[in-house]
Amino acid sequence: MSDILLTSITVSIIAISVIFLVLTILIYFIRALVYLLPYEEPSKPAPRAQPAAVPLSQVDEHIPVIGAVMASYLGPSADKLQIVDIQPR
Amino acid sequence: MDLSFATAAGKILETTAFTALTLDHVVMLVISCVLLYLAIWKKFEPLLLLPIGFGCLVANIPMSLMASTDAGGLLNFFYQGVKHEVLPPLIFLGVGALTDFGPLLANPSTLLLGAAAQVGVYTTLIGAVALGFDLKEASAIGIIGGADGPTSIFLATKLAPHLLAPIAVAAYSYMSLVPLIQPPIMRWLTTQKERKIKMAQLKPISPTVKIIFPIGVTIVCCLMLPGVTPLLGMLMLGNLFRESGVTARLHETAETHLINIVTILLALAVGSSMTAESFLKLETIKIIILGLLAFSFATAGGVVFGKIMCKMSGGKVNPLIGSAGVSAVPMAARVSQKVGAEEDHTNFLLMHAMGPNVAGVIGSAVAAGVFLSLFGDAGPEAHTAINTVTQALTAP
């Protein structure tokens, strides 16, 4: 076997050993990281407070006001426009 | 100035490129058209083969001053980015910004598959030496097995710049042929039972680990193999842009505009180096054959190591993910998924294969670093040490 071929085999063995060594060091580095900094579930945001229901008497007061505003915007007189319900979101 | 019709016509004819066109130029123009055909109609790695093919086309038009060797020409200017090792690391910056190392961090043992696939690099190195290349040239050819275009270009520029064109073309051509080269080898080396193995779901990884990982890899790998810092450092910087969460604009630029611009410059520059003088040689055919050998052995190395991991883990690892260790992100991982799904369509290997796939990027960069340590400008002492070892082995 020629010298250069033997050298190439030696280079290959050395190089593949170095690659395995470097990547094995990385494996232990990652394992240490994952062990020291485990994944934690992100805390769930607190449920948003539901808006308080508007008292019925207040809704009743709003209906004619909204009706008047919409009627003036749309054109027809207030008695042709009928708001039947208001649902608080 | 007296300029008759005949004189003017003769002068124009003299200045056309036809007067300087040789058979070699014609052959190279045909080769460039084949590359363009493969890119446009066969969709073989079009983002790279199209500009490479076009760079080759304009470089082989005589008197165009578009070859990489034509000082003052446009593509000579682009080529300085390759010659001075600027463009391949910038591509790695973009690749880092695009890469999610999560699957690798969730299953770090898959790094070994990225290392095992480098077997192709060294098998090819030995093959190249047997075919008459010197050790530096053989190293540059062998890295084709890493299936990593920028790494191949980076190493070829450093160790064998005269072989850059055929090495780059072989690397990118075979990368585009991964879906054709790998599956038969994968099926040949595995049993049906092994291909059907379903792997456990990957565990989630803390965002802090994802941030520390690129910094740690840079420190560990670049301290051990400083020659690879331009590649690995940029890869990890791109990934840090992604994971840190504080550089959204830089991340977006690196993964889109920057990588696209650099791809155009790099591919055109490589194409411009495909001149008749540098490409039409017996060495090119040898490199093309060795490139195929490199890919095949790299795939086989990954799959065989996958089988070993399968045995050692009690059948928890599907050996098909080993083939993804050849880099070529994400195509090689997709091939693992496809071959696995052929046996069992409910088997989803893609995320598991992404681990060895990104490990392959690190593995091929490390392999390049080892070659630079041995044969680069800083490596004569290492070379002497190898000679000493070789002499000791051959001594009676």
Q: Are B287 and B317 in contact (CB under 8 A)?
A: no
- Substitution target in A9, A10, A22, A31 with the highest count of B β-carbons within 10 Å is A22
Residues of A with CB under 8 A from a CB of B: 3-12, 14-16, 18-20, 22-27, 29-31, 33-34, 37-40
The distance of Cα B4 from the centroid of its chain, to the nearest Å, equals 56
Interval A34-42 mean pLDDT = 88
Chain A nearest-CA residue for B137: A8
- Substitution target in B232, B366, B381 with the highest count of A β-carbons within 10 Å is B366
- Taking the CA of residue A47 and the nearest CA in chain B, the distance in Å comes to 25
pLDDT of chain B, 396 residues: tens digit per residue: 667 888 888 888 888 999 889 999 999 999 999 999 999 998 888 888 899 999 999 999 999 999 988 888 999 999 999 988 899 999 999 999 999 999 999 999 999 999 999 999 999 999 999 999 999 999 999 999 888 889 999 999 999 999 988 998 888 888 888 888 999 999 999 999 999 999 988 889 999 999 999 999 999 999 998 988 999 999 999 999 999 999 999 999 999 999 999 999 999 998 999 998 888 999 999 999 999 989 999 999 999 999 999 999 999 999 999 999 998 888 899 999 999 999 999 999 999 999 999 999 999 999 999 999 888 875 555 556 556 655 665 555
Contact criterion met (CB < 8 Å) for B129 and A38 = no
Assign residue B361 a region (left: φ > 0; alpha: ψ between -120 and 50; beta: otherwise). alpha
Query: Both tokens of residue B301?
Result: 């190395």
Asked if residue B330 has a cis previous peptide bond (ω within 30° of 0), the answer is: yes
- The pLDDT value recorded for residue A79 is 59
Among residues of chain A, what percentage have pLDDT more than 90?
34
Q: Longest Cα pair distance anywhere in chain B, in angstroms?
A: 91
- In whole angstroms, what is the distance from residue B373 CA to residue B121 CA? 16
- In whole angstroms, what is the distance from residue A74 CA to residue A85 CA? 19
Contact criterion met (CB < 8 Å) for A20 and B115 = yes
- The pLDDT value recorded for residue B185 is 96
Q: Are B103 and A25 in contact (CB under 8 A)?
A: no
- Taking the CA of residue B209 and the nearest CA in chain A, the distance in Å comes to 6
Task: Check if B293 contacts A (Cβ < 8 Å).
Answer: no
The pTM of this model reads 0.81
Q: Are B361 and B393 in contact (CB under 8 A)?
A: no
How crowded is the C-beta side of A38, counted as CA atoms within 13 Å? 3
- In whole angstroms, what is the distance from residue B155 CA to residue B164 CA? 9
Measured between beta carbons, which residues in chain A are less than 8 angstroms from residue B304? none
In this complex, the residue of B112, B206, B362 whose CB is nearest that of residue A37 is B206
- The pLDDT value recorded for residue B328 is 82
Would you say residue A86 has pLDDT above 80? Answer: no
- In whole angstroms, what is the distance from residue B15 CA to residue B26 CA? 18
If one counts every other C-beta atom within 10 angstroms of the C-beta of residue B388, the result is 11
- The pLDDT value recorded for residue B329 is 83
- In whole angstroms, what is the distance from residue B19 CA to residue B63 CA? 10
- The pLDDT value recorded for residue A29 is 94
If one counts every other C-beta atom within 10 angstroms of the C-beta of residue B72, the result is 7
Query: Both tokens of residue B317?
Result: 């690892």
Contact criterion met (CB < 8 Å) for B138 and A16 = no
Measured between beta carbons, which residues in chain A are less than 8 angstroms from residue B129? 4-5, 7-8
3-state secondary structure string across chain B:
CCCCHHHHHHHHHHHCHHHHCCHHHHHHHHHHHHHHHHHHCCCCCHHHHHHHHHHHHHHCCCCCCCCCCCCCCHHHHHHHHHHCCCHHHHHHHHHHHHCCCHHHHHCHHHHHHHHHCCHHHHHHHHHHHHCCCCHHHHHHHHHHHHCCHHHHHHHHHHHCHHHHHHHHHHHHHHHHCHHHHHHHHHHHHCCHHHHCCCCCCCCCCCHHHHHHHHHHHHHHHHHHCHHHHHHHHHHHHHHHHHHHCCCHHHHHHHHHHHHHHHHHHHHHHHHHCCCHHHHCCHHHHHHHHHHHHHHHHHHHHHHHHHHHHHHHCCCCCCHHHHHHHHCCCCHHHHHHHHHHHHHCCCCCCHHHHHHHHHHHHHHHHHHHHHHHHHHCCCCHHHHHHHHHHHHHHHCC
- Taking the CA of residue A89 and the nearest CA in chain B, the distance in Å comes to 35
- The pLDDT value recorded for residue B388 is 63
Give the confidence band of A85 by pLDDT, cuts at 50, 70, 90. Answer: low
For B211-253, how does the pLDDT look when each residue is reduced to its tens digit (9 = 90+)? 999 999 999 999 998 988 999 999 999 999 999 999 999 999 9
Backbone angles phi, psi at B348, to 5 degrees: -110, 100
In this complex, the residue of B130, B220, B370 whose CB is nearest that of residue A19 is B370
Query: Both tokens of residue A40?
Result: 């934690």
What is the DSSP secondary structure assignment for residue A78, as one 8-state letter? G
> What was the ipTM of the complex prediction?
0.83
- Dihedral angle of Cα A5, A8, A13, A18, to the nearest 10 degrees: 170
- Listed by number, the residues of chain B in 212-231 with a beta carbon closer than 8 Å to a beta carbon of chain A are 212-213, 216-217, 220-221, 224-225
In this complex, the residue of B129, B363, B367 whose CB is nearest that of residue A5 is B129
In this complex, the residue of A9, A26, A40 whose CB is nearest that of residue B220 is A26
In this complex, the residue of B111, B205, B394 whose CB is nearest that of residue A34 is B205
In this complex, the residue of B108, B139, B367 whose CB is nearest that of residue A31 is B108
Which of B294, B339, B41 lies closest to B188 in space, CA to CA? Answer: B339
- Taking the CA of residue A19 and the nearest CA in chain B, the distance in Å comes to 6
Measured between beta carbons, which residues in chain B are less than 8 angstroms from residue A31? 108
- In whole angstroms, what is the distance from residue B14 CA to residue B22 CA? 15
Task: Check if B294 contacts A (Cβ < 8 Å).
Answer: no
**Which helix or strand (DSSP H or E) is residue A83 part of?**
none
Angstrom CA distances, B275 to A84, B17, B128, B353, B379, stand at 82, 15, 23, 38, 31
- Listed by number, the residues of chain B in 325-384 with a beta carbon closer than 8 Å to a beta carbon of chain A are 359, 362-363, 366-367, 370-371, 374
If one counts every other C-beta atom within 10 angstroms of the C-beta of residue B90, the result is 23
Contact criterion met (CB < 8 Å) for A15 and B367 = yes
- In whole angstroms, what is the distance from residue A14 CA to residue A57 CA? 87
Which of B139, B315, B329 lies closest to B238 in space, CA to CA? Answer: B329
Q: Are A7 and B387 in contact (CB under 8 A)?
A: yes
- The pLDDT value recorded for residue B387 is 61
